[in-house]
Amino acid sequence: MQKPSSTDLLEKSNVARYIQLASLFRGRIERGDWAIGARIPTVEQLSKEFGVAGMTIRQALDQIEKEGLIERFRAKGTFVRARPERDLWCEVQTDWNGLLMSRADAQIEVLSDTPGATLAQADFDHGTVAPSYRHLRRLHRRQNVPFLVADVYVDEKLQPLIPEENYSTTTAMRLVSDLPGVRVADARQILSVASADVETAQLLQLSMNDPIVLVQRLAIDEEGRLILVANGIYRGDKVRIDMKLLT
């Protein structure tokens, strides 16, 4: 099988070329193709390799320079300074207390807010779906870089109990925890790995087919009703999953 060329790696999508290139360059550093302390190819060499304008290469390098991965020196070139810190952004917890935790420096933007949403019972092995949900699509950022997009469904019967500001400030599970008269009797978390499609790549500033982690979280009350469903998509390079196997 013929190995794809460098230009083939740049997907034809609405994702900006410099974002795709920044992801590729970040990957080269992480894999060690560009070792720490090594000088990377010049803008002219990279421009020729990927068949893009020098300005696009500079924008991509600006991106990873802001992340502290490279350092530029006049008349000397550009050198690798550090590898990406994979566990810097978000740690997916696997216990109830961990699911309630939020990073103090994370920002949540509500992209859409739709009342009266419905879910199909056939999509769930646990719990009974509620008649209607409030559906919010939320984008989570750290240092102005997106790391999670999530579709959150909250049972509309809980609306009077949840302060409105919580929808843009708290984690999904915390929305329904400790509500008066409501007890979460069962909570589940389901993880899988996939590749970014066009829409996800745009939202999370990734290249097409970059790795993503899908995390579904379910909260079920004492009556067996699904009071919360949260479908999260994490950037694969900004998340760590830590599971304790022995107690």
How far apart (Å, rounded) are the C-alpha atoms in residues 244 and 30?
Answer: 26
C-beta of residue 196 within 8 angstroms of C-beta of residue 210: yes
Tokens in use for 85?
């810190």
SS3 percent helix, strand, coil of the chain, rounded to 5, is 30, 35, 35
Ranges of residues in the chain with a pLDDT under 70 are 1-15, 85-104, 241-247
pLDDT tens-place string over residues 104-148: 578 999 999 999 999 999 999 999 999 999 999 999 988 788 989
How far apart (Å, rounded) are the C-alpha atoms in residues 85 and 235?
Answer: 13
How far apart (Å, rounded) are the C-alpha atoms in residues 82 and 69?
Answer: 5
pLDDT tens-place string over residues 91-116: 555 555 545 455 557 899 999 999 99
CA distances from 202 to 56, 78, 189, 222 (A): 17, 28, 25, 39
Radius of gyration of the chain (CA): 21
For tokens 């009077």, the residue is 160
Q: How is 57-111 classified by DSSP, letter by letter?
A: HHHHHHHHHHTTSEEEETTTEEEE-----TTSSEEE--SHHHHT---TTEEEEEE
For residue 237, what pLDDT is reported? 76
